[in-house]
Amino acid sequence: MGRPRKLPETEAIDIALRLFWKQGYDRTSVADLSAALGVGPSSLYNAFGSKQELFRRAIEHYAATYTTFIDHALERDLDVEAAVRGLLREATMVYASPDSPPGCAVMQSAGAASPDDSEAAAITLEVKAEVERRLALLIERASESHGTPLSAPPKLLAKYLNGTLRGLSQLVIDGADLEELMAICDVAAGACVAGST
């Protein structure tokens, strides 16, 4: 009988990510993960310590791999509306990609549980907070660079946009039309600028 296969760590984390993304943290069992990775539960625990730690690593991998739309927005010198529109549209295309499960893994995998009651929600809250911080930075920079008056303080707009990203993620899962989703991105971007609505 041959030795059990040993996946490279990054490949194993990506497989686990897609399972958590599709099924959610709570509905993904250690048996599910073991089967997907082709290893026994003891090997999984030896490699990652716990289901929770594997989830943390998977979400970190998602943030580094699939949320580059924030980096792209920060790299461009655009006014607030154009920067936010581009970021939201790019995020929507990630959420709607046929190459991965629908929606955002950070937004969907932990469900709607409170961070006080859910390990997964506590882990994803850290990522959401970092996204929010970077959204505020983007808005502040774009406003200062182009003299754009904002409809609210950058931190408040960042919370609004974080909520918009969550809504877009869910709408993709619900099967919303892409053209309609892009129109939502445009409305949300316009709402960030004072006097644009």
Q: What is the model's pLDDT at position 119?
A: 85
Confidence of residue 110 (pLDDT cuts 50, 70, 90): confident
Three-state DSSP at 27 gives coil
Tell me the two tokens of residue 40. 């026994």
For residue 65, what is the enclosing H or E element? helix 51-66
User: pLDDT digit string (tens) for 123-137?
Assistant: 999 899 999 999 999
Residue 185 has pLDDT above 90, yes or no: yes
Query: Which residue ranges form the domains of the chain, and what is each CATH number?
Result: 9-61 (1.10.10.60), 67-190 (1.10.357.10)
The string of DSSP letters for 154-185 reads HHHHHHHHHHHHHHHHHHHHTT--HHHHHHHH
Residue 108 has pLDDT above 90, yes or no: no
For the entire predicted model, the pTM comes to: 0.89
CB of 140 within 8 A of CB of 73? no
91 or 4, which is more confident: 91
**% of the chain beyond a pLDDT of 70:** 92
Q: What is the model's pLDDT at position 75?
A: 93
User: pLDDT digit string (tens) for 38-51?
Assistant: 999 998 999 999 99
User: pLDDT digit string (tens) for 59-79?
Assistant: 999 999 998 999 999 999 999
Closest to 29 measured CA to CA, from 41, 12, 47, 11: 41
Confidence of residue 121 (pLDDT cuts 50, 70, 90): confident
User: pLDDT digit string (tens) for 25-35?
Assistant: 999 999 999 99
Summary mean pLDDT of the chain? 91
Q: What is the model's pLDDT at position 112?
A: 65
Residue 6 has pLDDT above 80, yes or no: no
Q: What is the model's pLDDT at position 3?
A: 39
Q: What is the model's pLDDT at position 81?
A: 97
